[in-house]
Chains A and B, each alone.
Chain A
Amino acid sequence: MELFTNQVLAGIATGAIYACMALAVVMIYQAIDHLNFAQGEMAMFATFISWQLMQWGVPYWGAFVITLAFAFVGGVAIERILFKPLAKAPVLTNVAGFIALFAIINSSAGLIWDFTIKQYPTPFGSSPFLGSQLISTHQAGMIGVTVLLLIALYFFFQYTRIGLAMRAAASVPESARLVGINTSWMIALGWGMASAIGAIAGMLIAPVVFLEPNMMGGVLIYGFAAAVLGGLTSPFGAVVGGFLMGIFENLAGTYIPGVGNELKLPIALALIISVLVVKPAGLFGRHIVKRV
């Protein structure tokens, strides 16, 4: 039983990483209706920017704020320059665009900062949290930030004018345009916010997985899976999905014999697919009814 509790705790700790990423994935899905495959790379690039700022002597929180601003502007710019012209292109062409963006960012980061692994500082320290061996203060801080972010987003979407406008633009663009919402800029805003949330995720994850151009590869896959598990239409679901994903993965690694590090991911994915077969819209997603 103790082993079980410990594994669940460890799962929650890694789950916080996935939850953060899943939140960013869902944000952009809300705004543009696509899964952005380059999301992880955008987050990685932003994390490198913050690292570079710290190398130049900017203190952690200063670098944090500058990086968020940079990520937001960068996200908006990518939408305006690269993806707005593709708005009318088929969905699959857009997906190809994400893959192209992935290649561009990954390769540029590799050229600028090279592929060696770099240490990344944490603002929370890494001593054991409340005497527990499994969760460090950094991981506890990560969970705290994720939860805070979720609450902030909830208030933003439910109680501000612009949040309401974004929701309207995402769910019924035509009607939103009729009541005077600039839907095109709402999409850009969605990109910016998703990019900033991704940057937060990147900066929280970097102390755990270390900083390098390929650091987000694995995390993004789990983030996607978590978002899909929780339901792509629900930010709350995404966070729950992230934590569940972390727990799944740890328990599968502990209790199923012969599961090494490499089979963890397929097994976690298989579990998610079984969930989806029973609940096709994810755990908390709303069911979309199609008009014939």
Chain B
Amino acid sequence: MSAAEEVVAEGHQAVEAVPKRAMTLGTGTSLVVLAALLIVPLLVKNFIIFQMTMLLIYGLAVLALNILTGGSGQFSLGQSAFYAVGAYTSAVLMEHANLNYALTIPISAVVCFGFGYLFGKPALRLSGVYLALATFALATAMPQLLKLNFLEHWTGGVQGLVVTKPDAPFGLPMSQDTWLYYFTLLVTVAIYIFAVNLLRSRSGRAFMAIRDNEIAASAMGVDVARYKTLAFGVSAAVTGIAGSLGAIAVQFVAPDSYTITLAISLFLGMVVGGVGWLPGSFVGAAFIIFVPNMAESISKGLSGAVFGVLLFLVIYLVPHGARQIAILGQQLVGKLRKN
């Protein structure tokens, strides 16, 4: 226990190695899921459409964390800060500059990319628990920063800002909720395809090399610093887009909606969905949206305990998250085909 002791640790892996091919769904399954996502809103009530929109939005935010953690092996508890920056960028541009909502999304992506990239710079020297603490600091600071006096003119201070919900364009005969759902779906699909391709690209392979063994990666010529900050930037940008969409869907931004609780939820979503499995992000999002409500309906006083027990059940049954179920399913289908 003396400070001078040196220990040679085995290559202790914080994030498991996930092969590239195992990160996505097959083409057939993807098309079926997409078709379901296109058709279902035509059959259900507005409130359910709103919940599906939120599912896609949280799914995007979990996906962003998955790119960072599952892809490059860096851990972050600060995703709520990036989400807040995205949400506020959109809200401020829409309410103060009267910008069209769709135009605010690429802008908040750029802003968040810059923010994430800059944050990734000092974070380079930290890893594991230390990085978790640094990102945690960011998450706790963000609501306080948004409340600062000299920003109040723009951010509305503690009160926050109200955002107007956009109407469907070109006189399309659909409700605001339905339009927003399809708009979100379009953005989500675009980002999902981008993420899949990113992880299959040269940059994606560099991320995974860093995740699996940083020293070996740098020996192979991967610019570790560059790719680590890039991963932070991309993750922040995607989270920012989710934040923008979230602000538009909820029609309201306030500092206290983006506390550390949000970051912890997103983290749980990633674990439940399966770290490093991109489609799992949406399964995880469903977990963090619906399970707390379910727990509340089972027992009001003990909702936290019920949630905890349900979470324990999930991680006992499938410690590797929804990915494990998908792999089992795949094997089953494979067996059936053989027979």
Given A91-B14, A288-B9, check contact A103 B130 (CB 8 Å).
no
A184 to chain B: which residues have CB within 8 Å? Answer: none
Q: Taking the complex as formed, is A161 at the interface, i.e. its CB lies under 8 A from any CB of chain B?
A: no
Residue in chain A with minimal CB distance to B127:
A280
How far, in angstroms, from A172 to B6 measured CA to CA in the complex?
12
Q: Is the CB of A286 within 8 A of B3?
A: yes
- A234 to B308 alpha-carbon distance, docked (Å): 31
Contact present for A289 and B6 (CB under 8 Å): yes
The size of the chain B interface, using a CB distance under 8 A, is 58
Nearest-neighbor residue (CB-CB) of B134 within chain A: A273
Q: Is B237 close to A, CB under 8 A?
A: no
Q: A82-B312, A266-B140 are in contact. Are A289 and B7 (CB under 8 A)?
A: yes
Contacting A at CB under 8 A, from B287-339, are 301-309, 311-312, 315-316, 319-321
By the criterion of a CB under 8 Å from any partner CB, how many residues of chain A are at the interface? 59
- Binary CB contact string for chain B from 1 to 32 against chain A (1 if under 8 A, 0 otherwise): 11111111111101110000000000000000
Question: Is A104's CB under 8 angstroms from B6's CB?
Answer: no
C-alpha gap A234/B4 in the complex (Å): 11
Q: Which of B94-102, B226-234, B268-276 contacts A (4 or more CB under 8 A)?
A: B268-276
A102-123 with Cβ < 8 A to chain B: 102-104, 106-108, 110-111
Confirm or deny: B193 has a beta carbon within 8 angstroms of a beta carbon on chain A.
no
Which residues of chain A are near B145, meaning CB under 8 Å?
266
Contact A86 B319 (CB under 8 A): yes
Complex contact B125–A292 (CB within 8 A): no
Residues of A within 8 A of B275 (CB): 90, 92
Tell me whether A286 and B4 are in contact (CB under 8 A). yes
- One digit per residue, 1 when the CB lies within 8 angstroms of any chain B CB and 0 when it does not, for chain A 52-80 equals 00000000000000000000000000000
Q: Mark A81-99, 1 if CB is under 8 A from B, else 0.
A: 0100110111111011101
Write the nearest CB–CB distance from B329 to chain A, whole angstroms: 20
CA distance A179 to B134 in the complex (A): 39
- Shortest CB-to-CB span from A44 to chain B, Å, is 13
Whether B315 pairs with A266 at a CB distance below 8 angstroms is: no
A262 and B144 in contact, given A96-B268, A157-B1, A276-B126 (Cβ under 8 angstroms): yes
The answer to the question of B38 belonging to the interface, with a C-beta cut-off of 8 Å to chain A, is: no
Contact A104 B304 (CB under 8 A): yes
The closest CB in chain A to the CB of B265 belongs to A99
Whether A284 sits at the interface, judged by CB under 8 Å, is yes
Task: Answer yes or no: B40 CB below 8 A from chain A CBs.
Answer: no
What residues on A are CB-neighbors of B185 within 8 Å?
none
A111 touches B133 (CB 8 A): no
| Residues A99 and B264 in contact in the complex (CB < 8 Å), given A86-B319, A111-B302, A292-B11 | yes
**Given A97-B312, A276-B134, A285-B3, also A290-B215 (CB < 8 A):** yes
A221–B264 alpha-carbon span in the complex (Å):
14
Q: How far, in whole Å, are A277 and B301 apart by their CA atoms in the complex?
A: 43
**Interface-centre pick from B133, B144, B302, B316 (highest chain A CB count, 10 A):** B133
User: Is B133's CB under 8 angstroms from A103's CB?
Assistant: no
**What residue in chain B is nearest A35 (Cβ atoms)?**
B129
Q: Given A103-B307, A276-B130, A276-B134: A291 and B8 within 8 A (CB)?
A: yes
Q: Complex: how many Å from CA A99 to CA B307? A: 10
Chain A residues, CB < 8 A from B4: 286
**Interchain residue pairs with CB less than 8 A apart (8):** A86-B315, A96-B271, A100-B312, A101-B308, A262-B147, A269-B140, A273-B122, A280-B126
Interface residues of chain B, those whose CB is within 8 Å of chain A, are 1-12, 14-16, 69, 75, 122, 125-126, 129-130, 132-134, 136-137, 140-141, 144-145, 147, 213, 215-216, 264, 267-268, 270-272, 275, 301-309, 311-312, 315-316, 319-321
**Extra A-B contacts (5), CB below 8 Å, given A221-B136, A276-B126:** A93-B319, A96-B271, A104-B309, A106-B304, A263-B144
* Shortest Cβ-Cβ A-B pairs, 5 listed: A107-B304, A269-B137, A266-B141, A104-B308, A89-B319
